[in-house]
Amino acid sequence: MFNHFEMNKGDDEESSLTHIDHGFHSKLPPGILPHGLPTVKEVAPAITPQEQKKEDLKEVKELSAEQKQMIILSEDFQRFILRAGKVMERALSETVDIYTDYIGDGEADDMNDEKSHARLSLNRTFYCDRWSKNRCVTSFDWSTHFPELMVASYHSNEETPNEPDGVVVVWNTKFKKQTPEEVFHCQSAVMSTCFAKFHPNLILGGTYSGQIVLWDNRVQKRTPIHRTPLSANAHTQPVYCLSMVGTQNAHNVISISSDGKLCSWSLDMLSQPQDVLELQHRQSKAISVTCMAFPHNEVNNFVLGGEDGYVYSASRHGNRSGIGETYEKHLGPVTGISAHHNQSSPDFGHLFLTSSIDWTIKLWSLKDNKPLYSFEDNSDYVMDVAWSPIHPALFAGVDGSGRLDLWNLNQDTEVPTASITVDGQPALNRVSWTPSGLHVTVGDEAGRIYVYDVADNLANPRMDEWNKLNAVLYELKMNQTDEFDDKDQKSPVPQNNTSLTSLTSTPLI
CB of 461 within 8 A of CB of 391? yes
pLDDT digits (tens, 9 = 90+) for 236-277: 999 999 999 988 888 999 999 999 999 999 998 899 999 999
Quote the longest CA-to-CA distance of the chain. 178
pLDDT for position 49 = 73
Question: DSSP secondary-structure letter at 58?
Answer: P
Q: What domains can you pick out in the chain, each with its CATH number?
A: 117-486 (2.130.10.10)
pLDDT digits (tens, 9 = 90+) for 361-382: 999 999 898 999 999 999 999 9
| 496 or 383: which leads in pLDDT | 383
Kindly indicate the confidence band of residue 507, based on its pLDDT and cuts at 50, 70 and 90.
Answer: very low
Kindly indicate the confidence band of residue 472, based on its pLDDT and cuts at 50, 70 and 90.
Answer: very high
Which of helix, strand or coil describes residue 499? helix
Q: For the chain, what is the mean pLDDT?
A: 82
Residues in the chain: 509
pLDDT digits (tens, 9 = 90+) for 124-147: 999 999 999 999 999 999 999 999
CB of 365 within 8 A of CB of 351? yes
Examine the pLDDT at 509 and tell me if it is beyond 50: no
Kindly indicate the confidence band of residue 97, based on its pLDDT and cuts at 50, 70 and 90.
Answer: low
Whole-prediction pTM: 0.74
Examine the pLDDT at 114 and tell me if it is beyond 60: no
Question: Rounded mean pLDDT of 172-190?
Answer: 91
pLDDT for position 384 = 96
Kindly give the residue spans of alpha helices, DSSP state H, lying in 368-491.
456-459, 465-490
Most confident stretch, 42-51, 96-105, 310-319, 489-498: 310-319
pLDDT for position 123 = 93
pLDDT digits (tens, 9 = 90+) for 57-79: 666 678 788 877 888 888 777 77
What DSSP letter does each residue of 105-126 carry, written as one string? -SHHHHHHHHHHH-SEEEEEEE
User: Radius of gyration (Cα) for the chain, nearest Å?
Assistant: 39
Kindly indicate the confidence band of residue 499, based on its pLDDT and cuts at 50, 70 and 90.
Answer: very low
Examine the pLDDT at 289 and tell me if it is beyond 60: yes
pLDDT for position 313 = 93
Cα 219 from chain centre: 20
Which of helix, strand or coil describes residue 216? strand
| Residue 108 to residue 183: CA distance in whole angstroms | 39
CB of 166 within 8 A of CB of 156? yes
